[in-house]
Amino acid sequence: MDQVYIPKNRIGFSIGNYVIIKPLEEKKPEEKLYFYGVKHINSVKLGIVKEIMSILDSRLENYENIIIAGSFLDEGFQFNDLDIILINKNEITIDKIKKDIEKKIGITLHFLNLDNKTLAAGLETDPFYQMLLSKCISKKRFIYKSKHRINYKLLDLHLLKSKTLIDNFDILSGNEKYDLVRNLMTISFYLDSRKISKELVDAEIKKNFGLKDINELKKNLVNKKTFLKEYKQIYDKTFTRILRGIKDGAKQE
């Protein structure tokens, strides 16, 4: 316990009076943030998150929630940018705020403006909304109970992106290959109604491609022939399922 000394000659207080000692400036209680799927975050990153939240809160007049997501929340410092989802009924103009924050923290920001209805619909039909919110930090508590509704045409558009790996394997970087494989595996998870998160998808990638560490793919250390053989099998199977779903949907219409 710290000792606090009060001068013997003090105006207005007699010896034996009770007094309260407190600082001239009281520190405001730290605002609580809500963590979803984030088991641990580096103190430096947490400081950046709090700084961003504070700036946005002071600069935005009306909003429903602020959510920070993406690879920034993964362990380590292997990220290129930071994803921020602004939840609001009307789209918020944030160009000036975005530039100010980027200048202050030195990190590129990606903003996504959504209303609650659009986000809820995305979680029902788009696996990448589920992936995005599987690990995030929000300013306010949120609960999204969404049904699983497969939109085969939307998945077909997402899958088309992963075909790039087959046609351009030699010119893609390891990180680009990883993104395209994760895209394919996420779609496959969604078709199987499996829970989607980066950790679960990464584990499936390692299992299917016989990798000890996901960095083998990110660092371009995979065997082309073996890798592409497995990749094409997964891609073709996924494409067939989506095509069948589109055809069945057309028949029902």
In the sheet with 81-87, reading across from the earlier edge strand, the strands are: 34-36, 136-138, 65-69, 81-87, 108-114
Q: How many CB atoms lie within 10 A of CB 130?
A: 20
Chosen domain end from 88, 112, 138: 138
Domain match, 102 and 169 both: no
Domain match, 40 and 134 both: yes
Q: How far is CA 79 from CA 71, 107, 148, in A?
A: 6, 10, 30
Domain match, 94 and 176 both: no
The residue range of the domain holding 109 is 34-138
pLDDT at 89: 85
| Alpha-carbon span 33 to 46, nearest angstrom | 10
Domain match, 88 and 183 both: no
Cα-Cα-Cα-Cα dihedral sign, residues 190, 195, 196, 200: negative
Vertex 28: Cα angle to 61 and 6 (nearest 5): 150
Number of domains within the chain:
2
| Alpha-carbon span 179 to 175, nearest angstrom | 6
Torsion of CA 136, 140, 141, 146, to 10 degrees: -70
Beta-strand pair 65-69/34-36: unpaired
| pLDDT tens for each residue of the chain, 253 residues long | 456 666 666 666 666 666 666 666 655 556 789 999 998 899 999 999 999 999 999 998 889 999 999 888 988 777 778 999 999 988 778 889 999 999 998 889 999 999 988 988 888 899 999 999 999 999 999 877 778 889 999 999 999 999 999 999 999 999 999 999 999 999 999 999 999 999 999 999 999 999 999 999 999 999 999 999 999 999 999 999 999 999 987 665 5
Asked whether residue 243 is domain-assigned, the answer is: yes
Asked whether residue 8 is domain-assigned, the answer is: no
Chosen domain end from 138, 169, 185: 138
Domain match, 156 and 134 both: no
pLDDT at 24: 61
Domain match, 105 and 192 both: no
Kind and range of the H or E element at 62?
none
Asked whether residue 16 is domain-assigned, the answer is: no
CB 175 within 8 A of CB 159: no
Chosen domain end from 114, 138, 162: 138
pLDDT at 93: 82
Unique residue bearing structure tokens 């997964």: 234
Domain match, 88 and 163 both: no
The CATH number assigned to the domain holding 97 equals 3.30.460
